Amino acid sequence: MIIGRFAPSPTGVLHLGNLRTALASWLSVRAAGGRWVIRMEDVDGPRCHREVGELQLGDLAALGLHSDESPVLWQSDRSQAYREALAELRAAGRLYPCTCTRRDLQSLASAPHAEEGLRPYPGHCRTRIWGGAEAAALGSPQSRAGGPGGLRPESGQAVPPEDIAALRLRLPRGVVAWADRLRGPQADDPATLTGDPLLFRRDGCFAYHLAVVVDDGAQGVTEVVRGADLASVTATQIRLQEALGLPHPTYAHLGLVTAPDGSRLGKRAGALGLEALVARGLDIDAVVGWLGWSLGCQATPAPCRAEALIAAFSWDRVPQGDVAIPVAWCG
């Protein structure tokens, strides 16, 4: 059975690009009679807010998209699973402590993707020897505070920040071949895209790559639908799945929703959430109808409910490229 998921980070309002991804993932699963789950990716403690996540769930429900798993999984409740995964990787000799600061990384970066803001980690700390302090990330489960941060040693005392080391996965060499449902066969060398990924951060938070891979595995996810901006990290996540002995889901990376002139929405995207659109007089069915049209489910953006799109959904009809929002929606 196909199991798909939508995994937003509760850092801000879901914009049209997020809603389009959610609908595509839901339609793909519903069309195949599978199971669809929502997962709240609030692992990045300081940037995530529970209330924002609740609002996101409300927007998805308003579109008719409900998780088949109840309650919804929040990553801030998953520290124990992430710690176990780190311990497994540590035992297999795949982890190393990294003491590079943001400034070190900026001065080390001379990589091909630096101009796009994606800088592969250059492997500066790869040869670093494992010391006592790194155990702070892996210490005994009973003594943990429970949240993504707040790691505590046996004594129950907070670990001083200088004693928490970041942890990275040592990637094996080589190109990863994977298939994108929309873009076809891919061959990526993760060393040139992300470099050795960060799995545990110096501020005590488990990192995105670890959480996403562990949870896709735990929830049995077989199909990942997400934005094209994450295509470049897929090979790295496949390597992490291999290291943890987890199966590989299939992937589809959707084009972005852009401004009417095709430019990136950037910060303007925040003003294109469901609530803002409805406040501007749009009907929810009009938003769903437009999203369905943009996914190739109907010939015109006629208003409709999400269920009405299921029968017409097919990955063969989903356009590969970006899609521009209607001028009238820009307010």
Q: By the criterion CB under 6 A, which residues form the site for ligand GLU?
A: 7-9, 41, 212, 226, 230
Report the distance separating Cα 64 and Cα 58, nearest Å.
10
Shortest distance (Å) from residue 283 CB to ligand GLU: 26
Cβ closer to ligand GLU: 117 or 161?
Answer: 117
Shortest distance (Å) from residue 61 CB to ligand GLU: 18
Residues 23 and 59 sit within 8 Å (Cβ to Cβ): no
Give the torsion through C-alpha atoms of 327, 230, 47, 212, to 10 deg: 140
**Across-strand partners of 195?**
121
Report the distance separating Cα 302 and Cα 149, nearest Å.
46
Cβ closer to ligand GLU: 40 or 309?
Answer: 40
Shortest distance (Å) from residue 128 CB to ligand GLU: 28
Report the distance separating Cα 323 and Cα 86, nearest Å.
39
Report the distance separating Cα 30 and Cα 32, nearest Å.
5
Cβ closer to ligand GLU: 136 or 228?
Answer: 228
Shortest distance (Å) from residue 136 CB to ligand GLU: 25
Longest CA pairwise span in the chain (Å): 64
Cβ closer to ligand GLU: 159 or 214?
Answer: 214
Helices 208-218 and 234-243: crossing angle in degrees, nearest 10, is: 60
Shortest distance (Å) from residue 75 CB to ligand GLU: 9
Cβ closer to ligand GLU: 8 or 255?
Answer: 8
Cβ closer to ligand GLU: 94 or 226?
Answer: 226
Cβ closer to ligand GLU: 31 or 230?
Answer: 230
Shortest distance (Å) from residue 314 CB to ligand GLU: 22
Could you tell me which of 181, 60, 194 has the C-alpha nearest to residue 120? 194
Per this entry, what is the length of the chain?
331
Distances (CA, A) of 200 to 4, 208, 259: 26, 9, 36
Could you give the strand order of the β-sheet that contains 184-188, starting from the edge strand earlier in sequence?
73-74, 35-40, 3-6, 223-227, 250-254, 176-180, 184-188
Residues 298 and 76 sit within 8 Å (Cβ to Cβ): no
Shortest distance (Å) from residue 250 CB to ligand GLU: 13
Shortest distance (Å) from residue 286 CB to ligand GLU: 25
The number of angstroms, rounded, from the C-alpha of 278 to the middle of its chain's C-alpha atoms is: 27
Cβ closer to ligand GLU: 23 or 164?
Answer: 23
